[in-house]
Every structure is written in structure tokens, then in C-alpha cells.
């Protein structure tokens, strides 16, 4: 799930997943972090979910996927679309 908060020249995108599905650490990787695993790791929130927020420039598109333990890659069902095997989000 994606949560968005617009700012003057950027959009804060919060990537949100259940606390334990999939189990283990999960990071979001994409064009905004040069597809570097571990840069944006989802952390526990008080509401029982885990999340990470990334500030992205306004009016841009980015491809991304989640990477979980065991080299398990998966997409976000709430993405704005898909480009090849990747999720896409538009700010």
C-alpha cells in the first residue's frame, strides 16, 4: 500500500506492508535509490504495520519493487501501474 503526502515541490511516499507478510526484513528498491537493497528498509509502526517514507520530486514517475528475505521480489498491488516486471508510481 502506498500513502502520499504532497508538499510544495515533492511528494512523500510511504510504502506500507503488514508487519509479518512476508516474514523477515523487507526493503523497497527502485529508480529513486538506484535499485540498492537495504537503502530504504521498512520499520515497524505502532499500528501493527511496517513502513518507510521516501521524498520524491513532484510530477515524476518511478519504478520500484519490494525485496524480502530469501531474495523474494514482489510488487505493490496499490501501485499506479506496472512497467515490465516492476511497480510504477507517479508523484
SS3 37: coil
**pLDDT one-digit tens code per residue, 60-86:** 999 999 999 989 999 999 999 999 999
- Provide the pLDDT for residue 16: 97
Q: What is the pLDDT of residues 20-76, one digit of tens each?
A: 899 999 999 999 999 999 999 999 999 999 999 999 999 999 999 999 998 999 999
Residues in contact with 68: Cβ distance below 8 Å, sequence separation at least 6, in sequence order: 22, 23, 24, 25, 26, 74
Q: Catalogue all structural domains in the chain, each as residue range(s) with its CATH number.
A: 2-83 (2.60.40)
pTM of the model: 0.93
Question: Residue 12: what pLDDT?
Answer: 97
Amino acid at each position: 500500500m502506498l500513502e502520499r503526502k504532497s508538499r510544495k515541490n515533492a511528494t512523500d511516499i510511504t510504502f506500507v506492508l503488514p508487519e509479518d507478510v512476508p516474514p523477515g526484513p523487507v526493503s523497497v528498491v527502485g529508480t529513486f535509490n538506484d535499485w540498492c537493497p537495504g537503502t530504504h528498509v521498512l520499520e515497524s509502526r505502532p499500528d501493527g504495520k511496517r513502513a518507510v517514507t521516501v521524498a520524491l520530486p513532484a510530477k515524476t514517475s518511478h519504478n520500484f519493487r519490494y525485496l524480502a528475505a530469501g531474495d523474494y521480489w514482489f510488487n505493490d498491488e496499490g501501485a499506479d501501474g506496472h512497467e515490465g516486471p516492476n511497480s510504477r508510481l507517479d508523484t
